Amino acid sequence: MIMRREILPLSIFGALAVLPLLGSFGSDAFILSIVARVMIFAIAALSLDLILGYGALVSFGHAAFLGIGAYAVGILSAHGIREAAIQIPVALFVSALFALVTGAISLRTKGIYFIMITLAFGQMAYFFGVSLAAYGGDDGMTLPGRSLFFGYDIAASERAFYFLVFAFLVVVYAACRTLVISRFGRVIRGARENAQRMEAIGFSLFSYQLTIYVIAGTLCGLAGFLLANQTEFVSPAYMTWQRSGELIVMVLLGGLGSLNGAILGAAAFLLLEEGLSHLTEYWKLYFGPFLVLVVLFARGGLMGGFKRLTGTGDGR
C-alpha cells in the first residue's frame, strides 16, 4: 500500500543516484553539471512549495534567498574563508534572519499586497547586491574555487559535487516530507484550506506562517550556497524578480502543494530551457505559449496530469 505511493519519489531519486554510474553518459561533466543544477533548483523549488503550495503564500521575492546563500559563499571566499563548515551556517543564519524580518512585516498583509511586499524585499536584496562594488556589484564575482569541506577540496570533482548535491536534496526532501505531515504541517495545510476555520478553533496563524516562511527561506539559502559552488560565480542576477518568477513557474509546473511535483517542475523547467535553447535561439518563443497552455489545460501541473493518467486518488 505504502510502496505504491512511494514509487514516484523512489524512481526519481533512484534515477538521480544511478545517473553518474551510467558509463560514458554518466561521466560526462556537462551532463553531471546540468543535473546538479536541476537538483539545486529542486531544493529551491521545494522550499518555495512549502510556502506557496502548502501555505498558500505567494512570495514573489524568494530568489533573494538564493542570492543570500550565494553571497555568503562569495563574500567569505573573498576574505579567504573557503570552508563550507563556516559558509553553510552563515548562509543559513543570514537567510533565516532575512526571512524573519521580512516575513514578520509581509505577513501582516494579504493577497496581492503580500505579493507586492515580498517583491519589494526581493528587489531590495537585488539592489543591495548591485551596490556591493567591493564584491563585483552588477557584474558579479568569480570564486577562487569551490568550497572546502573540512579542508578537503572534494567538490572540485564534478562527480563528487553531484553526489554532494544529491545528498542535500535527499535530506531536504525528507525534512519537507516530515514537516508536512507533522502537527505543524497540518496547521499550515488547514490554514491554506480555510484560514477562518483554523482561527475559530484557536490557531493564531501568524506565528505558524512566519515559522514556515523562515524555514523556507533558510532552505533556499542552502540552495544558494550550492548554486554559487556549482557555477563558481556570484551575482545579483540570482536575485532578480524574473528569477523569483521562474521559481514560481517551477513550482506551478510541477503541481502546487506536491513535493514530488516541485522536483519534477524544476527538472522540467531547466531541462526544457536547456534542450530548447540548443534547438533554437528563440526557444522562449515556444516556452512562453507552453506555459500558457499548461495553465489553461493542465490544471495541477505535471503531478495533476500524472494523477489523472494513473488514476491515483487524492493522495497528499
Nearest Cα to Cα of residue 53 among 312, 268, 304, 259: 259
Beta carbon of residue 266, minimum distance to other proteins (angstroms, whole number): 15
Nearer to other proteins, 234 or 249 (CB): 249
Nearer to other proteins, 85 or 104 (CB): 104
**CA dist 158 → 20, 33, 44, 86 (Å):** 10, 7, 21, 22
DSSP string covering 130-193, please? HH-GGGTGGG-EE-SSSPBBTTB-GGGSHHHHHHHHHHHHHHHHHHHHHHHHSHHHHHHHHHHH
Beta carbon of residue 284, minimum distance to other proteins (angstroms, whole number): 4
Beta carbon of residue 312, minimum distance to other proteins (angstroms, whole number): 15
**CA dist 30 → 159, 162, 217, 229 (Å):** 11, 11, 29, 15
Nearer to other proteins, 17 or 295 (CB): 295
Nearer to other proteins, 31 or 58 (CB): 58
Nearest Cα to Cα of residue 135 among 200, 85, 89, 67: 67
Beta carbon of residue 282, minimum distance to other proteins (angstroms, whole number): 5
Beta carbon of residue 202, minimum distance to other proteins (angstroms, whole number): 4
Nearest Cα to Cα of residue 222 among 97, 41, 33: 41
Beta carbon of residue 32, minimum distance to other proteins (angstroms, whole number): 28
- Grid cell for residue 144: 577562487
Q: How many CA atoms lie within 13 A of 15 on its CB side?
A: 11
Nearer to other proteins, 19 or 120 (CB): 120
Contact 71, 98 (CB under 8 A): no
Q: How many CA atoms lie within 13 A of 207 on its CB side?
A: 5
Nearer to other proteins, 133 or 309 (CB): 133
Binding site for other proteins (CB under 8 A): 52, 58, 105, 108-109, 111-113, 115-117, 119-121, 123-124, 127-128, 130-133, 178-179, 181-187, 189-190, 193-194, 196-205, 208, 211, 241-242, 245, 248-249, 252, 256, 282, 284-285, 287-292, 294-296, 314
**CA dist 296 → 59, 187, 291 (Å):** 22, 31, 9
Nearer to other proteins, 25 or 113 (CB): 113
Beta carbon of residue 221, minimum distance to other proteins (angstroms, whole number): 18
